[in-house]
Amino acid sequence: MTTIQMRHLLALFCSLLIFSNQSDAQEIFGKAKNNYRNFSNKKTMVVSNSADFTDLALNDAVKSGWKISEYEFCTLERFEQMRRDTMFYFLLRVEGKFRREGEASIEYLTLVKGGPASDKGISKMEEIVSLPLQAVGDESGKAFVFLPAFIDIIQEHIINVGEDILKAYVGNSFYSNRIEEQGSKRIIFDRAEIGYQVTDEEIEEQFAGKVILADAAVVEEAVQKAEPQTIVSLVISPAEPKSGSFSYQMLIDTGTHSMVFFRRHKITSKLPAGFTREDIKRISIPFQK
């Protein structure tokens, strides 16, 4: 099955994650109804297409990093046959959009639980986490580099909720607040992901010298080498940002693959995609000490 055919079938199954409002889109770490202590007793099915390079990269990341449950790779056709079974979780790529959007602009890596609700589409299944992965139609391969980290972030979230159900109810704020613990590390920002004009000197002063403004290649190298005591930036936004669409800003620890910062904002003519001044101000506070 070709990539186009697979995506077409997903659309026929109403698999788009439909966000009814801005708050829904922000809660990428779902406010869980269960604590997932029995997650390891169930199998995770990784839905992928062997002809799709991003899916192949996802498969590699799962093979090398998935440790909290049994897993198996499956086709979309098999997913269709198994999706009602509550003994399975499903990890797959889907396109998400808001109800007012004409078409999806961002692709997510989502983990959902099987069950009868799947008859009404993936958006109705119990969602564990949906991480913004890349712009729809992005063929740059940037997502490949971050997929191992995303696999670990998803697993860490499940473990966190299993240990303390309260962490499920605070949603993304638990991850956003973790930046307060990172002041001894260095940050590498992809300068193209800063959403406003700033000089190297200005940002270095703001972060007391613990920051580097670089290009995407430097960020990717830090991720691939799993450099210790290092945090890198990642922004996911539509290929052609429009007013009303969203930009997701993340910081990921390259050594531990932990998400240490997450925020999103609505894109406007005055607030383009990328880290905002408010984001940078918030992130810099622990590094000024």
Q: pLDDT tens digits for 49-66?
A: 888 899 999 999 999 999
Domain count within the chain: 2
pLDDT at 21: 45
Say yes or no: 140 and 223 in one domain. no
Give the range of the structural domain holding residue 124, as residue numbers without chain letter: 3-169
CB of 150 within 8 A of CB of 61? yes
Say yes or no: 142 and 65 in one domain. yes
Provide the 10 A C-beta neighbour count for residue 205.
13
Least confident of 85-94, 165-174, 239-248: 165-174
pTM of the model: 0.87
CB of 231 within 8 A of CB of 178? no
Strand partners, 90: 45, 112
Say yes or no: 58 and 139 in one domain. yes
* CA 14 – CA 104 distance, rounded (Å): 12
Q: Of 169, 193, 223, which closes a domain? A: 169
Q: Of 122, 148, 169, which closes a domain? A: 169
pLDDT at 38: 81
Q: What is the pLDDT of residues 141-177, one digit of tens each?
A: 999 999 999 999 999 988 887 765 555 555 555 666 7
Helices assigned H by DSSP within the chain: 3-12, 22-26, 53-65, 76-82, 142-163, 166-169, 173-176, 200-206, 216-224, 277-284
Q: Between the CA of residue 190 and those of 33, 157, 289, what are the distances in Å?
A: 36, 26, 23
pLDDT at 22: 46
Say yes or no: 15 and 136 in one domain. yes
